[in-house]
Amino acid sequence: MSDPQNYQVGWICAIETEYVAAKAFLDEIHKASEYLSPSDNNDYTLGKVGNHNIVIAILPDDEYGTTSAASVARDMLHSFTNIRVGLMVGIAGGAPSATHGIRLGDVVVSAARDGKDGVVQFDFGKRVQCREFQRFGFLNQPSTVLRTAVVGLRSQHTVHGHQLDESVNAILQKNPRLQEKFARPDKKTDILYHSDFLHAQGADNCGNMCGNDPSILKLQSKRSKDDDTVIHYGLIASSNH
């Protein structure tokens, strides 16, 4: 069995889709540990990425939000007392802008910008009649070791590229059962509507339900083959709704 003291990186997933993808990317999978705290309600997958021992946990079924994530993190620290780095990794919505052309399948890494510390909780604050929403929510910036690691990775990717697409394709070939749900969608499905467009209720597939009339679509610039997946660095907005 694995010794909980050997794990220093904690990775939390919100939903099962993220949990499956996280486990697929482990270089090694370790045996479960029997030495967990009696008050720990989490389900864990233990393994290794590069030189780092990782413990991955998931939020309870059909429970979301910061409160549930905090409970999972608390229980993890009860059992894995040597955790030094905590990561929340998962799926999110992208907000493209003139300076950040975020596309389906891109990666966003939180980073401090404009005096804000990486992640902004935008729904925590006070609303006063006839005034703008006053936001109080903020999080402390990540540790120095993580912020310097981001700079190192970013410089490495600038010179050599990131090889994310190759890594994903290798995992899909190794696990063909994941192909249908986890392969990159066709680029034709990555369409962007104008922000004032009202989507049809129950529209699971906007391409079919909402149409693709050029008048309702926002034109996106073309990417080269080398830029299929882009890593963006900046603020991530988080909320409970």
Question: Would you write out the chain's pLDDT as a tens digit for each of its 241 residues?
Answer: 589 899 999 999 999 999 999 999 999 999 988 888 998 999 999 999 999 999 999 999 888 777 888 899 999 999 999 999 999 888 888 878 777 888 888 899 988 877 777 888 777 778 888 888 777 766 777 888 888 999 999 999 999 888 888 999 999 999 999 998 888 878 777 888 888 888 877 656 676 778 778 888 888 877 776 667 889 888 888 877 7
If one counts every other C-beta atom within 10 angstroms of the C-beta of residue 232, the result is 16
Measured CA to CA, the distance from residue 108 to residue 61 in angstroms comes to: 25
> Both 111 and 208 in a single domain?
yes
DSSP 18: H
The residue type found at 102 is: I
Asked if the structure places residue 145 within a domain, the reply is yes
CA nearest 42: which of 50, 33, 51? Answer: 33
What is the domain extent for residue 142?
107-238
> Both 151 and 42 in a single domain?
no
Asked if the structure places residue 95 within a domain, the reply is no
Contact 120, 234 (CB under 8 A): no
> Both 121 and 177 in a single domain?
yes
User: How many alpha carbons lie under 13 Å from residue 167 in its C-beta half-sphere?
Assistant: 12
> Both 118 and 211 in a single domain?
yes
Asked if the structure places residue 170 within a domain, the reply is yes
